[in-house]
């Protein structure tokens, strides 16, 4: 073991040049300045005595960056991943310990020992096969000297409290994805390390300034996330008739048929052809939780079945529809996969046609048969937030005849986006405009998620008012048969006219 030249270091401290540099440097980094003035001394690690300054082996990495967990600065601007370029050497504090007590020491100094996934906390002692070097966290002991409490622990374990310096080599494998991307992308620009996971696929929404690095970003995500074998980036907004979007495969295999599990139910899908958003799992569960066995669910924009299938599992009767032929096909597939194909009637129709056809037929048949004590409820889910509120006008006079009991009126759960300062009021007012009536005191709004800055996704739930849903028979008289059906409001006005006459 080699000791540094203390006398030279002491003289160095007296020089004006060093004092000027040190005055602008934090105390933990002063020893780094010594390294720049003193030259290199052979040896893997050196003893550091408390309250003394010592120089350390000078390396390019040490001069370039004093942070422990930052990749080499030369990777800045890299667009094609070169893992070898991330190698660098940093100096970390270590304790020399007899190998028999290593485990005891790790437990006793667990808050001081290095805790870094992928990095060994204990390494071989190159000078003593009976000893080990325990790596300490340099952020916990920046002055390379242990605190009194740690020294007391070492005293009890009969371990000499001298802290040594060790050259630790870091490689690409030792850095986290965010650290890698922050080192590569231009300084000050936003770093994307988060993504939506859909089975083996990672789905990104990259910003324009990140696009030159997109293939590198994709490969880093695959490297750092076990099970991810494909990374895609959305290339346009979801504005197609079928709610899917164009995407580019950034890294990995081009297989976009995947399997996901949500709320203990398995779904299979082609992510490039159907809509799936893992951020909606909580909302799917919330709505299904409202349902009771024997309830009836009409899912107007069903997708591959995240509302319909768990509802059927709950012994509800389900009518599920989607306009996208691919979604319809995967809906049928997932119904069989989850063994509920005999409990779900699936349709491949426009949402408006579905409401005017199968939904109206079923409600016309079922609602007149409801008894006061009957516990069956009817729910209509409309999860197409960009357009669903515009479909609410379909409920105007959807049914004919006398209204059912208030308890039997169907409950609608309709989703919408809002950029308004008061998104709940905005969604309610738009729903009221479509329905032609006030929902004040007759609805609830639920904030589902923040979609983008100043853009919220909400769910408005309400029972369809009887005066909206029903078109009642008009009184007999001189009224032509072609006009015998009218709304509740028309009916009241007609009675008034008859009285006057």
Q: Which residues are annotated as a binding site?
A: 284, 322-323, 350-351, 383
Q: Which residues of 84-122 are buried (b: 16+ CB within 10 A; e: fewer)?
A: eebebebbbbbbbbeeeebeebeebbeebbbeeeeeebb
98 three-state secondary structure: strand
Residue 402 C-alpha from the chain's centroid: 48
Annotated binding site for S-adenosyl-L-methionine: 284, 322-323, 350-351, 383
Structure tokens given for 492: 């009241």
SS3 of 272-330: the string is CCCCCCHHHHHHHHHHHHHCCCCCEEEECCCCCCCCHHHHHHCCCEEEEECCCHHHHHH
Instruction: Answer yes or no: are the C-beta atoms of 96 and 125 closer than 8 Å.
Output: yes
Instruction: Answer yes or no: are the C-beta atoms of 451 and 463 closer than 8 Å.
Output: no
Residue 332 C-alpha from the chain's centroid: 28
Calpha distance 9→346 (Å, rounded) = 82
374 three-state secondary structure: coil
Return the closest-CA partner of residue 81 out of 205, 214, 176, 187.
Answer: 214
- List of residues 6+ apart from 481 with CB closer than 8 A: none
Instruction: Answer yes or no: are the C-beta atoms of 113 and 106 closer than 8 Å.
Output: yes
Where do the H-state alpha helices sit in 392-483? 423-435, 466-469
Q: Which residues of 316-332 are buried (b: 16+ CB within 10 A; e: fewer)?
A: bbbbbbbbbebbbbbbb
Structure tokens given for 21: 């540099």
Q: 445 exposed, middle or buried (CB, 10 Å; 0-12, 13-18, 19+)? A: buried
Return the closest-CA partner of residue 348 out of 289, 288, 302.
Answer: 302
Calpha distance 65→59 (Å, rounded) = 10
């Amino acid at each position: 073991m080699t000791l540094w030249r203390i006398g030279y270091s002491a003289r160095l401290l007296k020089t004006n040049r060093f004092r000027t540099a040190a005055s602008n440097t934090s105390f933990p980094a002063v020893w780094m300045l010594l390294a720049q003035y003193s030259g290199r001394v052979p040896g893997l690690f050196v003893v550091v005595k408390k309250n003394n300054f010592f120089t350390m082996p000078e390396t390019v990495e040490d001069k370039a960056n004093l942070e422990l967990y930052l990749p080499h600065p030369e990777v800045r601007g890299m667009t094609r991943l070169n893992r070898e370029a991330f190698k660098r050497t940093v100096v970390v504090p270590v304790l020399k310990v007899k190998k028999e007590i290593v485990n005891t020491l790790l437990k006793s100094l667990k808050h001081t020992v290095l805790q870094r996934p992928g990095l060994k906390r204990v390494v071989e002692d190159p000078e003593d096969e009976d000893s080990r070097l325990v790596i300490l966290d340099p952020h916990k002991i920046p002055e390379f000297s242990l605190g009194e409490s740690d020294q007391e622990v070492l005293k009890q374990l009969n371990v000499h409290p001298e802290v040594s310096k060790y050259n630790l080599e870091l490689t690409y494998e030792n850095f986290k994805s965010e650290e890698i991307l922050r080192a590569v992308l231009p300084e000050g620009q936003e770093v994307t390390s988060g993504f939506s996971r859909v089975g083996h696929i990672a789905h990104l929404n990259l910003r324009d300034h990140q696009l030159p690095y997109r293939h590198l970003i994709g490969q880093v995500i695959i490297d750092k996330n076990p099970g991810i074998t494909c990374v895609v980036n959305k290339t346009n907004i979801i504005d197609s008739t079928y709610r899917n979007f164009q995407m580019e495969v950034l890294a990995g295999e081009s297989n976009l048929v995947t399997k996901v599990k949500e709320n203990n139910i398995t779904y299979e899908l082609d992510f490039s052809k159907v809509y799936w958003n893992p951020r909606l799992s909580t909302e799917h569960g919330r709505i299904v939780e409202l349902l009771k066995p024997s309830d009836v669910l009409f899912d107007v924009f069903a997708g591959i079945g995240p509302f319909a299938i768990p509802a059927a599992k709950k012994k509800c009767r389900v009518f599920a529809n989607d306009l996208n032929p691919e979604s319809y096909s995967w809906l049928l597939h997932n119904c069989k996969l989850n063994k509920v194909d005999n409990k779900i009637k699936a349709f491949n129709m426009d949402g408006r046609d579905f409401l005017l056809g199968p939904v109206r037929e079923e409600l016309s048949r079922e609602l007149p048969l409801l008894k006061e004590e009957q516990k069956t409820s009817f729910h209509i889910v409309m999860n197409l937030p960009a357009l669903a509120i515009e479909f609410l006008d379909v409920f105007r006079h959807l049914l004919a005849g006398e209204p059912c009991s208030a308890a039997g009126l169907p409950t609608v759960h309709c989703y919408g986006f809002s950029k308004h300062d008061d998104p709940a009021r905005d969604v309610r007012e738009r729903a009221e405009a479509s329905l032609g009536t006030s929902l004040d005191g007759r609805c609830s709004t639920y904030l589902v998620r923040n979609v983008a800055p100043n853009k919220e996704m909400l769910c408005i739930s309400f029972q369809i008012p009887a005066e909206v849903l029903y078109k009642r028979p008009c009184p007999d008289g001189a009224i032509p048969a072609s006009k015998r059906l009218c709304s509740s409001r028309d009916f009241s006005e007609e009675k008034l006219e008859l009285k006057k006459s």
